[in-house]
Structure 1
């Protein structure tokens, strides 16, 4: 099993320093954000698409440090009813093209979230079957926006040998295994899941149960990211509209691995990943707002190394 890093977690560092740090930790691969909800701190998708020399230079920098690219991340909302939608849809298509040019086989995306009807101007996340109009909006979203978009973009990826890794995320149409499987059933195996346990945790899900339900045939990429449920959740539940900072008073917070789930909890995740046949990358995505970024990432690497080494001892591969 490999350990990777979403380089957005080191957005304050330049590309060279970021790659040097990843290499110093003995990581295997990196994941680059290209835009959308990423500031794209380390690569310029337009420049890379325009220049074979720049692509070769990037690959050379990675090769010199014994690193590869696990995935390109084009997370945004391609179904947004405003101008964001076309921009993020274009980003996804460009990411597929760039991935093929770089020899990268995976592009991470969000499923997207449209409005609840043709006249709405803002996305509408349906989380309950009541009141009755909720189900009408949900079915309209899937029939008129979600399925048509993915039926259009999946063949573009398939033609270039790219797998689309849809991340489970709140305020997206795909936010858990059930909603992902609805999309997979409609589109086929060009899409799989970028399974992010942190989002399942804050919504009350169990990552281990999700891994068992999905199996390796549905898990195309995996984020190493953790969530701590805070005492405030006992009163309010985990739905929380407070900004991510300050962290005090929130119902939950993103934290380094081992600060939410225990080390043993991460061992169980890695064991179950191995059991279902996933023996690929766990890409650390650090969004902790309390610790210095390098310290948080280093702690996460330490937890993953423990979990991987211990899982090998328990489940010989």
Structure 2
């Protein structure tokens, strides 16, 4: 396994400084956002797609520091009834850029449609009232699956895999919806980007998630959460308090190791479960802790992952008996 950094974690830094930070902490790779929900502070997508020189300069900044580019990130809502086409354009240009840079993976969300005729997305979280299931059927059968079949074909043509991140507020938000998308469009182009934090706050058991997703895990984000019991026990875990107000929320994204009472033990179990499922790719640090300085948070996450990451391939074989 390798350890990487999502450079948006330190979006206030120039690209070169973000790369220097990754190098200083002994990391192996970076993941760079190209647009949509990210302001893409470290990548000019249009310039990189259109200019060989821009791509060469971009790549040289990374490789000259002994780093690789593990993925490009185009998180947004391509299925939004109003802005979806603009987000889709960023996704497709990002796939084109990944092909040109020989980057194997583009990370993205599934997107979330609205109900038929609506102008806003609609996240269905319960089977009642009965019309919820009609909305959900429309979202999957009429919008998402046709879109994703075509996008998967586009990715195949460019030799790029799409790592979809199950996340609350998206059509794909758990294991079952992730597997439904893969079954609908084919696992040769689409798999999972596992960010355990999104599934933790919904109550999922992460080792069980890893076993269920298995070899469909293409990419991993290393991000933690902390449950604020005083709020969760009162209101549950569905939470609309802004993430910029962490003291009022039922849960928060936190620096690795600060979310579980057992600290590093959780992350040791995490990487061991990934190895057992066949994943030996990158663990990309994503800092979104509103209470911890981003430079400190990245450093603490790097130190923790270096304690638990399994670097070398296994070589043990049982003795003949």
TM-score using structure 1 length: 0.96
Q: 1:220 aligns with which of 218, 221, 229?
A: 218
- SS, match of residue 93 in structure 2: helix
Deviation of 1:230 (Å): 0.8
- 1:296 matched residue in structure 2: 297
Match of 2:266 in 1: 265
Assess, with a 3 A threshold, how the Cα gap between structure 1 residues 316 and 95 changes in structure 2: closer, same or farther.
Answer: farther
Q: Which residue of 2 aligns with 1:185?
A: 183
Gaps of at least 5 residues in structure 2 are none
Which residue of 2 is the match for residue 61 of structure 1?
A: 61
Aligned residue for 1:248, secondary structure, equals: helix
CA separation in 1, counterparts of 2:24 and 2:265?
25
Cα-to-partner distance string for 1:243-299 (whole Å, 9 max, x where unaligned): 011211210000011111321001000000011110110111110111110100111
Q: 2:143 aligns to what?
A: 145
Question: Which ranges of structure 1 fall in alignment gaps of 5 or more residues?
Answer: none
Could you tell me how far 1:48 is from its partner in structure 2? Answer: 0.6
Label 1:165 to 1:253 Cα distance change in 2 as closer, same or farther (>3 A).
Answer: same
Matches within 5 A, 1:1-317: 1-82=1-82, 84-117=83-116, 119-189=117-187, 190-215=189-214, 217-231=215-229, 232-261=231-260, 262-308=263-309
For 1:21 and 1:52, the matched residues in 2 are separated by: 26
Report if the CA contact (8 A) 1:271-1:315 is conserved.
no
Report deviation, 1:314. 9.9
Which digits, 9 at most, give the CA deviation of each residue in 1:214-251, with x for residues without a partner? 11x20000000001111211111111100011211210
RMSD: 1.5
Distance in 2 between the 1:52 and 1:100 partners? 13
Instruction: Give the secondary structure class of the aligned counterpart of 1:211.
Output: helix
Q: For 1:57 and 1:78, locate their aligned partners in 2 and report how far apart those are by CA, in whole Å.
A: 29
CA contact (8 A) 1:6 1:30 kept: yes
Taking structure 1 as reference, are residues 253 and 94 closer, same or farther at Cα in structure 2, changes over 3 Å only? same
- SS state of the match for residue 170, structure 1? coil
Could you say what secondary structure the match of 2:220 adopts? strand
TM-score by length of 2: 0.95
* Distance in 2 between residues matched to 1:246 and 1:314, nearest whole Å: 44
Please state whether the residue corresponding to 2:133 is helix, strand or coil: helix
Q: Structure 2: how far apart are the matches of 1:134 and 1:78?
A: 21
The alpha-carbon distance between structure 1 residues 127 and 48, as it changes in their structure 2 partners (threshold 3 A), is same
Shift of 1:316: 6.0
Counterpart CA distance in 2 for 1:313 and 1:110 is: 30
Local SS of the residue matching 1:71: strand
Alignment coverage as a number of residue pairs: 313
